[in-house]
Amino acid sequence: MPKLIIDQRSIEVPAGTKVIAAAEKLGIMIPRFCYHPGLGSFGACRMCAVKFLEGPVKGIEMSCMEDARDGMVVSTTDPEAMEFRQYVIEWLMMHHPLDCPVCDEGGHCLLQDETVSGGHGRRRYLGHKRTYHDQYLGVFVQHEMNRCIHCWRCRNFYQGFAGYRDYGAMQIGNRMYFGRYEDGPLESPFAGNIIDLCPTGVLTDKPCRFVGRRWDFERAPSLCLHCSLGCNTTGSARYRQMWRQEGRFNEMVNGYFICDRGRYGFAYESHPERPRRARVAGLEVAWAEAIQTAAEKLSQIAATAGPAAVACLGSARSSLETQATLQRFCRALGWSEPRYFSVPSQERQVKAAIARLEAPLAVSLREIETADFVLVVGADPVNEAPMLALALRQAWLKGGAVAVLDPRPVFLPFEFEHLPLAPGDLEAALEALTAGAGGTDLLAGGSPWPLLPKIAALGRRLTQTQRPVIVCGTGIVRESTPGLAADLVLRLREAGLNAGLFYLLPGANAFGAGLLSPAGEGLTPLMEDLETGAVKALMVVENDPFWDYPDRGRLVRALDKLELLVALDYLPSPTVQRADIVFPTLTLFERNHSSFVNQEGRLQLAPPVHLGGMPMAQISPEKHPPRTFLSHIPGGEPRTPGEILAELAAAMPAPVTLPGDDLWDWLSRKNPVFANIVSLFESPPGARLIPEAVPAGTFSPAAAPAAAERPPDYLELLLVDLIFGTEELASYSKHIQPAEEPPRLRMHPADAAKLRLSSGDRVALRLLGGTLEVDLQVAENMAPGVLVLPRHRQLNWRLAPDYRVMVAYGDIVKVEA
Amino acid sequence: MFEEVLFKNRRPDRPATLDEYRQSGGYEALIEAVKQRTPDEVRQLVTDSGLRGRGGAGFPTGRKWGFIPADAGFPRYVVPNTDEMEPGTFKDRVLVNIDPHLVIEGIILSGYAVRAQTGFFFIRPSYELDAQLIEREVEVARQAGFLGNNILGSEFSFELVVHRSAGRYICGEATAQVNAIQGNRAHPMKDRHMASDGLWHRPTIVNNAETLACVPHILRQGAEWFKGLARTKTGAGTKLYCVSGKVNQPGCYELPIGTPLREIIEGSAGGMMPGSELKAVMPGGASTAYMPAKYYDVEMDFDPLKAVGHRLGTAAIMVFDQNTCLVAATLNLMEYFARESCGYCTPCREGLPYIRDLLWRIEAGEGREEFIPMLQQMARHMDSSYCAFAPGAAESVLGLLKYFLDEIREHISQKKCPFAEAYRPHRKLWYPAE
Amino acid sequence: MQAEIAVAEHPREQAINIMYAVQGHYGYLPDEGLLEAAELLDLTPLELEELATFYDFIYRRPVGKYVIHVCDGVVCWMFHENSVFEYLCQKLGVCAGEISADGLFTVLPTACIGFCDHAPAMLVNGRLYGPLTPLLIDEILEKLKTEYCDLVVCK
Ligand SMILES: Cc1cc2nc3c(=O)[nH]c(=O)nc-3n(C[C@H](O)[C@H](O)[C@H](O)COP(=O)(O)O)c2cc1C
Ligand code: SF4
Ligand code: FES
């Protein structure tokens, strides 16, 4: 641990720490433009010059380029260094326009800050300013090239950190241009980060253009709910509306960055049709009336048909508070346990994964970056958990290898090995790898499986590593796959490797939902209860079965049988639209604190960004400021599900009180895992809700039953995620919608050849519930025998009895134009 | 009379052929080396000879080779640097055109010494004919068994590839050159050690072509002989001096290193042009400072020049006479450097154009006294840029300020360039629009 | 070309050669050629453009059959102070970078071409000319206009 002195104060830092970072630990912010702790040192802007007075380095040097070393004495205020830094600012300002008043970066602009603090207040350069043409970079990023100070951060992130190849630096010298080859949307779904990184107003947030200065916004730390990773964000709201999200540092989760889905998915919050008032039978009514009606009807059904006739459906996107209160509510009223998933296979997968995620095995997203081998099984990182793709890239940049076993045409922004295996084969592959790691010679038996040699080779490489991580998805895999992935990790650990396990789950709080779901097989699937008429009233809390239930026809028939449908939600979902009683709820950003458990069991807290209410723009777009004065917040009726449930409980004929302040105690009495909850002040990166001590490795009981083989002349339909267009919340975001790619069905060339289809063909897919038309794309890099169809907003894909269906060749036909 | 070493096969009209080269003892060093010497012995000999790099920085060649870590893996690369974009410098062109095989043998030997497999002969586009010449002669050398697999029946295999540049001064900088060869933008990489982490992250040694041409001679005739060639105590070998500017016989001359400037100009270069008086020289290309006439007797070697605050650089001596306006000359240099800057770091990218602007104003009669400290400070601060490009570029400005401040002041006070139009029939300012 | 790339251990190393080849075919590097070259090299158009626009001898705009690179190095400057450049432009009726009416010439200033011992100098078509006088320039232009000469351009 080198010890050095900076500005007369001494500090000891871990070896490899740069002087600029060491100074930061002392609270000394050395000016910088190109250096960013998430990207590293480049030595390009020369802004961080300091004087090294004593020690191994002497004179003016860049503090971002020098490792802290013993004996260094550094002055950040040395006159020579200050004079140099003043010149750097002057040079950078030679061409920078003085358009701060109309620039969106004004007020949180690093260049502005450092120009002011560096004392460069008078322009001495007498020459002209250089000008550029700007480019259209898509719907997210606004380009204003004249403001560029050539710090390289954007390119260093875009090409270096993220690995995308359509944005960079052209020309040379002071004519350099940062942009694309030609106008067009940035291809990287991580492009939004260059907005945060750009130290001035070249790259700004397009949806938030001209909305306000940094100090005009209400800002608070927040979380991303658009996948299970739980990246940290900072939300900005103004005029009762969210406008912007930025990446927020979390050393265990997302680091500094987020994906564009996380950045721009928030606009569901200000969806014009968002439910704002309580409704009964489609009519807006007073809140108390709705509570009264709901309490009466629910209790009446429970009284006449028995408590089991009332069912509650929570969700994987609700906060832990909501999920837990729902459970408490049901128990308090003596109803049956709430369910959290409308698709039973999803529930089973999530529970299987959680059950196997023992504390010693779980790795965080950040720890993946230090893995020397990552095996991704049944997951498509960019589309299912985007930031995972960047973490994998960092591992690869550090020399680690990445192999993906997945039937889809998986793309990752770096070199990796892809074995396109059908979902059934994934299990066989995992079993083989586990056997191999246990010492079995896989090739000895002369198995007829043609892929076995490749898997055996992979297994040999795997066992030669030290810190491998197995990433296992829960989207397209079989229910038993997560367990097999855990088995492999345990076997690798037995073999002495420091192996880690990383699951992906369906939903921002799927982990919480899984923890709260009843153990074992749980309840009869909700749909069966609805069909048999066993359930007569259904209360849906922040869930929309219309979104993810695979069989729309069956769902509608089942819901038709209900006597009462109560919906609590902030989305204008089809469920809300057909509900008899609707209670509008608050989003994550509004008024209340909410907690979410990400896929590695990390509990994170999101405080509110603003108080909620109807966006100003929606109330009086043409007459702002408003001409009528109210004592309440217009559109401020929505409450948290917890509050609504408490009101309902209190309004029941036999009233029950649900105290709001002892939820964690109540939870931890039920399940000791919740005793781990600590305040975020104690642990800023969040706390893990995984049982700490688990008896040493439990393997799945027996080898999972061999996956049912695909009948000949059938293809397995996989319903998959895309980064834009399939995730529920983001699909309601007006910012994300224009970035969606049109949905396409993908198929292996061998299958396409058999069906005489080719890329661009319009195909009709006959499924049980009806026929779906979609454009075909033939993809080399995927498994034969499968059809890959995105669960796209623009597609009516909900025509199948389950997520896993086989489609006969005859049911895939070309549609003639 | 001094006998030329590198230029001994000089012919008036054409390069020496392989046979001619061999008759002069060519490739003997290589034959001997692969048969009888270990790579370490070759490197030791070069170290002992005191050979210092001829590319501008004067780094001891043997020591540089020794930086490759003992346990470094393979492949390894050598990069003979024939970019030669330093204004005033043309020695590598002349050398290649006199004796291509001398350069080729030097390259192969350097490859042998560091146990490299491939050399990338990096050459600028204005030397396209020379690139073609080298390509041809590389083929000839291959036919003769000096290149390719198992050279002369030994274990040593080596390939030489001609890598064409598309022309930028910064490509001459060793680490930028490595980027350029890899097909990246030619930005320097100061945070990487080429000797262990160069081309494609493999050990890589970049040497100037002239440096390498000395190696066969050192091997054949010994380290002591090489040292003895010098006219200075600390120097070693001969040096190719390019003399240009206001002299009677501009050209590239091989002389013992350390030959005094006066002898070079008055001897080889035939003295000053009629009517011209020596005002200043740039001793080592455009990235060295003006050296006024008072240093006429300085020995042209690394150490003696350093002792008087100057640099040998590429030993490209550019001679300025009393009729040349040095403010305008410096402006010309700044135009060049500002245009060639790779743009990576701020001082170079923005500071050089700023200096250019101030000089232009001074030259155009718009100068102000306060420009002088600004020039001074900015030029000094170029030292804190990312690579050696900007410090080199600033040298002419610093030299101008140090020795010819009066000339600047005259511009400012007269509000015009004091150099009479009469002396300068072509004089006309041309300044590109921003 | 494809073969060259295929054998190259590091295809990107061939980037400049490929750009020269495409330039040899079109006379300059048009968008169309850049896209082809990028595809051959397995680079994105942006990645190749990052290189193409970095260098002096890759022409992204149309140029005449002969590109006259006038040395503006300080030694040449000492002798002509840009008047060679101006003389050529005037003679050919072009500004820097333009194509002369007959489609034959483009004049560009360029970094020292290493012909300082023959200053002032210029580079046309891979060949170095100097020391230049107006008379010599006239002769050279005449010769280039009338006589066939094989183009020496970087391969
Ligand atoms: C801006 C810049 C340009 C350079 N150009 C050249 C060049 O054209 N030729 C050359 O041999 N060295 C050039 N060098 C020096 C090289 O970086 C490197 O030191 C040299 O090639 C090493 O060879 P040597 O040790 O044989 O001198 C340049 C250096 C700088 C900073
Ligand atoms: S666009 Fe922004 S991030 Fe990129 S180089 Fe310019 S100032 Fe830096
Ligand atoms: S922050 Fe150190 S050089 Fe830019």
> Does residue A573 sit within a domain?
yes
- CB pair distance less than 8 Å for C44 and A170: no
Residue to mutate, B65, B206, B242, ligand 1, most ligand atoms under 8 Å from C-beta? B206
In this complex, the chains that touch B, judged by 3 or more CB pairs closer than 8 A, are: A, C
A38 in the same domain as A78:
yes
Q: Closest partner residue to A126 among B339, B347, B357, by Cβ?
A: B357
A817 interfaces chain C, CB cutoff of 8 Å: no
A497 in the same domain as A383:
yes
Task: Compute the nearest-CA separation of A214 from chain B (Å).
Answer: 28
Assign residue C59 a region: left if phi > 0, alpha if psi is -120 to 50, beta otherwise?
A: beta
A570 in the same domain as A611:
yes
Q: Is the CB of B137 under 6 A from ligand 1?
A: no
pLDDT given for residue A704 in this prediction: 39
> Does residue C154 sit within a domain?
no
Q: Closest partner residue to C78 among B246, B286, B342, by Cβ?
A: B246
Residues of C in contact with B184 (CB under 8 A): 12, 51
Ligand nearest to the CA of B337: 1
In this complex, the chains that touch C, judged by 3 or more CB pairs closer than 8 A, are: A, B
C123 in the same domain as C88:
yes
Ligand nearest to the CA of A95: 2
C140 in the same domain as C70:
yes
pLDDT given for residue B224 in this prediction: 96
pLDDT given for residue A710 in this prediction: 74
C121 in the same domain as C72:
yes
- CB pair distance less than 8 Å for B124 and C114: yes
Q: Is the CB of A34 under 6 A from ligand 2?
A: no
Task: Compute the nearest-CA separation of B277 from chain C (Å).
Answer: 14
Atom of ligand 3 nearest to the CA of A64: 2
Q: Range of C104's domain? A: 66-146
Omega before residue A221 within 30° of 0, cis: no
- Helix, strand, coil percentages (3-state) for chain C, rounded to 5, are 50, 10, 40
A596 in the same domain as A491:
no
Residue to mutate, A39, A45, A149, A154, ligand 3, most ligand atoms under 8 Å from C-beta? A45
Ligand 2 centre distance from Cα of residue A316 (Å): 39
Q: Can you say how many angstroms the Cα of residue A795 is from the centroid of all Cα atoms in its chain?
A: 22
Atom of ligand 1 nearest to the CA of B57: 19
Q: What is the largest CA-CA distance in chain A?
A: 88
Pick the more confident residue, C125 or A790: A790
- Helix, coil or strand: residue A632: coil
Q: How far apart are CA A479 and CA A349, in angstroms?
A: 5
Ligand 2 centre distance from Cα of residue A105 (Å): 13
Atom of ligand 3 nearest to the CA of A34: 4
Q: Range of A744's domain? A: 714-814
A502 in the same domain as A355:
yes
C50 in the same domain as C70:
no
Token pair belonging to A35: 């250096």
Q: How far apart are CA B270 and CA A255, in angstroms?
A: 68
Cβ pair A61, A85 in contact under 8 A: no
Q: How far apart are CA A814 and CA A799, in angstroms?
A: 18
Residues found in chain B = 434
C142 in the same domain as C74:
yes
Model confidence pLDDT, tens digit, residues A589-610: 999 999 999 999 999 999 999 9
CATH class of the domain at B238-321: alpha beta
How high is the mean pLDDT in each 10-residue block of chain A (817 residues)?
A: 96 97 97 96 97 96 97 96 97 95 95 92 93 97 97 98 98 96 98 98 97 95 97 96 96 97 97 96 96 97 95 97 96 94 91 90 96 97 98 97 97 97 91 88 74 91 96 92 94 94 97 88 82 96 96 95 98 97 97 95 95 87 67 90 97 91 89 81 83 53 50 92 96 97 96 96 94 96 96 94 90 91
A502 in the same domain as A353:
yes
Ligand 3 centre distance from Cα of residue A587 (Å): 40
pLDDT given for residue A561 in this prediction: 96
C49 interfaces chain A, CB cutoff of 8 Å: yes
B38 interfaces chain A, CB cutoff of 8 Å: no
C47 interfaces chain A, CB cutoff of 8 Å: yes
Tell whether the torsion through CA atoms of B334, B339, B340 and B345 is positive or negative: positive
Residues of B in contact with A176 (CB under 8 A): 343, 349
Same fold, B18-228 and B326-414: no
pLDDT given for residue A6 in this prediction: 97
pLDDT given for residue C155 in this prediction: 55
Cβ pair B178, B194 in contact under 8 A: yes
> Does residue C155 sit within a domain?
no
Q: How far apart are CA C63 and CA C105, in angstroms?
A: 7
Please say if the pLDDT value at position C70 is more than 90.
yes
Q: Is the CB of B206 under 6 A from ligand 1?
A: yes
**Burial zone of A695 (CB within 10 Å; 0-12 exposed, 13-18 middle, 19+ buried):** exposed
Ligand 2 centre distance from Cα of residue A203 (Å): 7
- CB pair distance less than 8 Å for A173 and B345: no
Domain boundary among A212, A247, A270: A270
- CATH classification number, B326-414, choose in 1.10.10.410, 2.70.50.60, 1.20.1440.230, 1.10.287.110: 1.20.1440.230
Cβ pair A285, A588 in contact under 8 A: no
Ligand 2 centre distance from Cα of residue A168 (Å): 10
Q: Which residues contact A187 (CB under 8 A, 6 or more apart)?
A: A164, A165, A166
Stretch among A546-550, A616-620, B86-90, C125-129 having the lowest mean pLDDT: A616-620
A172 interfaces chain C, CB cutoff of 8 Å: yes
Token pair belonging to B408: 């600047």
Model confidence pLDDT, tens digit, residues B265-288: 999 999 999 989 999 999 999 999
Beta bridge partners of A582: A279, A567
Q: How far apart are CA A573 and CA A570, in angstroms?
A: 8
Band of residue B430 on the pLDDT scale cut at 50, 70, 90 = very low
CA separation (Å) from A158 to A147, A200, A415, B180?
A: 19, 17, 16, 21
Atom of ligand 3 nearest to the CA of A44: 3
| B 384-423 near A (Cβ less than 8 A) | 384-386
A497 in the same domain as A477:
yes
- Whether the full predicted model's pTM is greater than 0.90, yes or no, is yes
Q: Is the CB of B165 under 6 A from ligand 1?
A: no
C91 in the same domain as C33:
no
A760 in the same domain as A653:
no
- CB pair distance less than 8 Å for B346 and A88: yes
- What is the CATH classification number for the domain harbouring C140? 3.40.30.10
Q: Can you say how many angstroms the Cα of residue B59 is from the centroid of all Cα atoms in its chain?
A: 12
Token pair belonging to B427: 């004089």
**Ranges of each domain in chain B:** 18-228, 238-321, 326-414
Helix axes B326-340, B405-414, angle to 10 degrees: 100
Ligand 2 centre distance from Cα of residue A154 (Å): 6
Nearest CA in chain A to B335: A173
Q: How far apart are CA B420 and CA B414, in angstroms?
A: 12
A775 in the same domain as A720:
yes
> Does residue C107 sit within a domain?
yes
Count CA atoms within 13 Å of residue A249 on its CB side: 6
Ligand 1 centre distance from Cα of residue A165 (Å): 31
Ligand 2 centre distance from Cα of residue A199 (Å): 7
Residues of A in contact with B362 (CB under 8 A): none
C75 in the same domain as C142:
yes
Cβ pair A329, A317 in contact under 8 A: no
CA separation (Å) from C43 to A390, B159, C50?
A: 21, 26, 11
Atom of ligand 2 nearest to the CA of A149: 7
Number of domains present in the structure of chain A: 5
A265 in the same domain as A283:
no
- CB pair distance less than 8 Å for C46 and A171: no
Q: Closest partner residue to A150 among B190, B343, B361, by Cβ?
A: B343
> Does residue C91 sit within a domain?
yes
> Does residue A104 sit within a domain?
no
**Could you tell me where the DSSP H helices lie in A273-411?**
287-305, 320-333, 344-356, 365-368, 381-384, 386-397
CA separation (Å) from A785 to A749, A806, C12?
A: 10, 10, 37
Q: Closest partner residue to A165 among C44, C53, C54, by Cβ?
A: C44
Q: How far apart are CA C127 and CA C68, in angstroms?
A: 10
pLDDT given for residue A568 in this prediction: 98
C46 interfaces chain A, CB cutoff of 8 Å: yes
Q: Closest partner residue to C13 among B128, B183, B429, by Cβ?
A: B183
C136 in the same domain as C71:
yes
Token pair belonging to A783: 């498994």
A258 in the same domain as A166:
yes
B365 interfaces chain A, CB cutoff of 8 Å: no
Q: Which residues contact B53 (CB under 8 A, 6 or more apart)?
A: B59, B60, B61, B64, B207, B208, B211
> Does residue A679 sit within a domain?
no
> Does residue A106 sit within a domain?
no
> Does residue C60 sit within a domain?
no
**Burial zone of A133 (CB within 10 Å; 0-12 exposed, 13-18 middle, 19+ buried):** exposed
- Helix, coil or strand: residue A112: helix
Number of domains present in the structure of chain C: 2
Ligand 1 centre distance from Cα of residue B231 (Å): 24
C119 in the same domain as C74:
yes
> Does residue A391 sit within a domain?
yes
Q: How far apart are CA A190 and CA A258, in angstroms?
A: 7
C82 interfaces chain A, CB cutoff of 8 Å: no
Q: How far apart are CA A22 and CA A45, in angstroms?
A: 19
Q: Can you say how many angstroms the Cα of residue B196 is from the centroid of all Cα atoms in its chain?
A: 24
> Does residue A705 sit within a domain?
no
Q: Is the CB of B210 under 6 A from ligand 1?
A: no
CATH of domain B18-228: 3.40.50.11540
A283 in the same domain as A246:
no
